Amino acid sequence: MHLKRSLLIFTFLCFLSVLIGLAVHFNQQISAPEESVPDTTPAADEGEAFDLQPSTEKQLAGSGSVTYAAGVNKLSSQQETLLKTYMDTWYQALGTLSDNSFTDVICDTEAAAFNQDCLTFQVEMRANETLDYSLTSYSYTLTCTDIEDNGDGTLTIRAEEDCTQRFTALQNVDSQRFDVFHLFTLKQVDGVWKIQRHIQPDTLFYLLYEGDDYYGEYTDEWALQEAEDLYRTKMPNYLARILSARKTYLADTGAVTLPTVDHTYNAAAALAYADTYVGSRSDDWGDYSDVGGNCQNYVSQCLNAGGIPEDVYGDDVWEWYSYSDYTVSWTVVGAFMDYAAYNNGYGLYALTDVPYTSGTAGDTLHVGTEDTWQHSTLISAPVRDAGGDIVDYLVYSNTGDLKNYPASLYGYSQFSIVKIVGWND
């Protein structure tokens, strides 16, 4: 009798558990903007895109931590708090798209003004986008890789930041950045630690810095100071160029007819590879992060994972043999774009000079200035507005490492889509 009653109770509890599970699942589907997205490699279908999701209530949630690389001594709690206060001030400004002041944390007037200009550049780029790129949440980990006592009462800190951001227009997408470089100098003022200097190289700073940056440590003091000074005078005009260019590119519309090829491109496989190695590197290939950048090498690997074979035939070639033996088209942005444009025999078949708004997941997106192409990315998904028009792309990239990050926020004025069709025998 007791056994029968126990079985009845067990059956009832199982049934109740199923009901609760269904209810939770249903509630999660309704509340999708509040949950993480486990799979961020969308299918390479032209109709697949991240849609505009307007927020009904804006609440910025943020968190951050300071950690240390192996062998690096810890900062004091006051120094850690100072770094986190700076970082939170930055992200809270991006949350509301307003120019927060750094005067409470930066003791040097010129340094505070420089950081204010860097923030204004980021805020204005976002504020002038078609989508609402204010933040709803952010989280970061700042890893101190080197701390140097300068012997004059100041500390120089080199750090790398991993962060996740959620934009108001894309509430269910984790946009991530990896290994973002920061240079801090700390100084005591009346017994309280303050930031004397901070540099986080953005696109404009990178273009202005003429020192040795192969290892991404920005150690040339003269070049650093020159870039800081130039930044303050050049930023407004550079920003205006970017905003004007964005309008031109968004007006570049039109349909693209794909030609027939012997073998179609497996964009899903390319995206899966991109997702695996966006924040790391494959042991099967060289890593050129410290010698000019790994972006095109990474994109070439993604295309190869998508079925595009290496090519050593004819006048236009695309091949990697070893770290020191490869064709420039494999690792150099402009050379790859030339290969994609001119190769018409064996290997990759792609369309270049296509309308900006014709990109799909798995295509490559290249960015640069009026003078040169600087960077290669792989499109993870187009982003459409409420009317269904493509207004941006989320991308994967190396150096810097980005995952599902809006291409429009790179800070470059030139964009070019290479539509990957497939390959021919």
129-188 pLDDT tens trace: 999 999 999 999 999 999 999 999 999 999 999 999 999 999 899 999 999 999 999 999
pLDDT at 218: 83
**pLDDT score, position 19:** 37
What CA–CA distances, in Å, run from 24 to 17, 30, 41, 177, 346? 11, 10, 25, 31, 53
Backbone phi, then psi, for 352, in 5-degree steps?
-115, 170
The 3-class secondary structure across 231-271, one letter per residue, is HHHHHHHHHHHHHHHHHHHHCCCCCCCCCCCCEECCHHHHH
* For residues 413-417, average pLDDT: 96
pLDDT of residue 49: 60
How does residue 214 score in pLDDT terms, banded at 50, 70 and 90? low
CB atoms within 10 A of CB 131: 22
Number of H helices, E strands in the chain: 9, 15
Q: What is the mean pLDDT of the chain?
A: 87
Question: What residues have CB less than 8 Å from 374, skipping those under 6 apart?
Answer: 333, 367, 368, 412
The confidence band for 61, taking pLDDT boundaries of 50, 70 and 90, is: very high
Q: What is the pLDDT of residue 136?
A: 96
The residue type of 5 is R
Please tell me what DSSP assigns to residue 10.
Answer: H
* Torsional sign, CA 330, 336, 338, 344: positive
- Across the strands, what pairs with 396? 378
374-406, pLDDT tens digit by residue? Answer: 999 999 999 999 999 999 999 999 998 999 999
* Residue 133 C-alpha from the chain's centroid: 14
CA distances from 170 to 37, 134, 287, 393 (A): 11, 10, 32, 12
Per-residue pLDDT of 25-48, as tens digits, reads 333 332 333 333 333 334 444 445
pLDDT above 60 for 291:
yes
For 21-53, the DSSP string reads: HHHHHHHHHHTGGGS--S-------TT--EEP-
Instruction: Give which of 381, 385, 377 is closest to 415, Cα–Cα.
Output: 377
pLDDT in tens, 326-363: 999 999 999 999 999 999 999 999 999 999 999 999 99
pTM of the model: 0.85
- How many whole angstroms separate alpha carbon 132 and alpha carbon 126? 7
User: In the numeric block, which tokens belong to residue 167?
Assistant: 């934009």
